[in-house]
Amino acid sequence: MNISKRTDSMPYSSVRKLVPYEKEAVKNGKTVYHLNIGQPDIKTPDIFYKAMRDFNDETLEYADSRGEKSLIEAVISYYDKIGVHFEYDDVFITNGGSEGLMFAFFATMDEDEELIVPQPFYTNYNSVAQLAKIKIKPIVTSPETGFALPSYDEMEKIISKKSRAFLITNPNNPTGAVYSKEEIQNICKLAKKYNMYIIADEVYREFIYDDEIKHISFGTIEDMQEHVILIDSISKRYSCCGARIGILASKNKMVQQMVMKLCQLRLAAPTIAQVATAKLYRETPDSYLKEVNEEYKKRRDVCFEYLSKIDGVFCKKPLGAFYMIAQLPVEDAQDFCIWLLEHFDVDGETLMMAPANGFYSNPENGKNEVRLAYVLDSEKLKKAFNILEQGLKAYNSRNK
């Protein structure tokens, strides 16, 4: 029997495709430090679990396809505090930010139309674009400039008659870049000039580590309401990945109509998780996010300090999110990552990283790079980078 060519053409996730090697390493008794996936180890607020336990409706019903009223109202209140103002009909609750992205793609673009994205970019963008038969056109950025966006004129050259939307992740996964006011304004000017959407993935909004740098939400830019679709999630903000609660918000009425059709197609997001998330938004103290931010900043600094000491490794200090791209002194980072899991350990411990070529539109790019997620405490990170340093020496001396 035949299988779907559409699905067969989709790449495996760079974040998860080495899992079979990791499972075999664990089976063989190794401890694996996971820097491959953005799974926070920070404690989820007790408020969420208490709300789950307190839920006692006699019948567990579908939620409204748009989302639970209590959660939508809590989300609107959250956005008001950061200067982004939405009405009830502007907001949709999704099964994680990933579903929100899928809805935004399917609501705004048709087959063979173009999505313009700074590269490297979150690996799942490739998969969703292929599923929707959309073409990704990359905005090339480089580690030497801290993955800053190029000039207005350079970005304008990328736009064609088929270009329909920008997808901007800010702070950025996988680079840790945080875009300046000028960069945000340039994207807005181009979107307005060429009548394009801006799909703004802002799930790492709170994770910025230098006081002089401020996050600028596309939702705060005047006269851009018809162009902007905000994507958000509780997965990273509240260390709540497993709840699968995301947000899509837009003031564009046509986008709202398309998204509602997609919401009805998949029926609803999970009821209990939505009720608990409403409590999370309303009752989590500001001190929680402050403490989380301080912890990730400490980890960021450890990563940069230790990576900078390893011969042949190049990286820029990330400004936000909890990821970084590192260039390694190897020709094929994926081969090296597999080799670490299969053949190398330090006192029974090894390391799992995400090969970065999957974060590019062309997998021939980024072949000597890895994405690292600093989602382990500082002492574990130090051990992980010792494994990396020793592993690079052993890997590169195999054929000498």
pLDDT on residue 107: 98
Torsion over CA: 343, 344, 348, 351 (sign) = negative
Band (pLDDT 50/70/90 cuts) for residue 128 is very high
User: Where are the extended beta strands (E) located within 335-394?
Assistant: 349-352, 354-355, 369-373
Residues 199-238 have pLDDT tens digits of 999 999 999 999 999 999 999 999 999 999 999 999 999 9
Residues 318-351 have pLDDT tens digits of 999 999 999 999 999 999 999 999 999 999 999 9
Q: How far apart (Å, rounded) are the C-alpha atoms in residues 320 and 317? A: 9
Q: What is the DSSP string of 208-238?
A: B--TT-----GGGSTT-TTTEEEEEESTTTT
pLDDT on residue 66: 99
Closest CA to 350 of 39, 1, 29, 90: 29
Domain made up of 5-43+287-396: CATH architecture:
Alpha-Beta Complex (3.90)
DSSP 8-class letter at 44: P
Locus of tokens 């109202």 = 73
For 107-128, b/e burial (b = at least 16 CB within 10 A) is: bbbeeebbbbbbbbbbbbbbbb
Residues 166-199 have pLDDT tens digits of 999 999 999 999 999 999 999 999 999 999 999 9
> Is pLDDT of 140 > 90?
yes
> Is pLDDT of 399 > 80?
no
Residues 158/122, Cβ–Cβ less than 8 Å: no
- Phi (first) and psi of residue 46, to 5 degrees: -60, -25
Strand, helix or coil for residue 137:
strand
Residues 71-123 have pLDDT tens digits of 999 999 999 999 999 999 999 999 999 999 999 999 999 999 999 999 999 99
Ramachandran region of residue 204, left (φ > 0), alpha (ψ -120 to 50) or beta?
alpha
Q: How far apart (Å, rounded) are the C-alpha atoms in residues 306 and 289? A: 26
Of residues 88 and 11, more confidence is placed in 88
Q: How far apart (Å, rounded) are the C-alpha atoms in residues 122 and 348? A: 31
| Region 144-154 average pLDDT | 97
Q: How far apart (Å, rounded) are the C-alpha atoms in residues 246 and 340? A: 35
Residues 37-50 have pLDDT tens digits of 999 999 999 999 99
Per the structure block, which two tokens stand in for 151? 């000039």
Mean pLDDT of the chain: 96
Residues 232-272 have pLDDT tens digits of 999 999 999 999 999 999 999 999 999 999 999 999 999 99
Q: How far apart (Å, rounded) are the C-alpha atoms in residues 182 and 132? A: 31
Q: Determine if the pTM surpasses 0.75.
A: yes
* Bridge partners (DSSP) listed for residue 327: 314, 369
Band (pLDDT 50/70/90 cuts) for residue 5 is confident
| Region 55-82 average pLDDT | 98
* Class of the domain covering 46-283: alpha beta
Band (pLDDT 50/70/90 cuts) for residue 9 is confident
Locus of tokens 């600093």 = 374
Residues 59/255, Cβ–Cβ less than 8 Å: no
pLDDT on residue 400: 64
Give the rounded percent of residues in the chain with a pLDDT score beyond 70: 100
Type and span of the H or E element at 168: strand 163-169
Q: Could you tell me the residue ranges of all domains in the chain?
A: 5-43+287-396, 46-283
Strand, helix or coil for residue 89:
helix
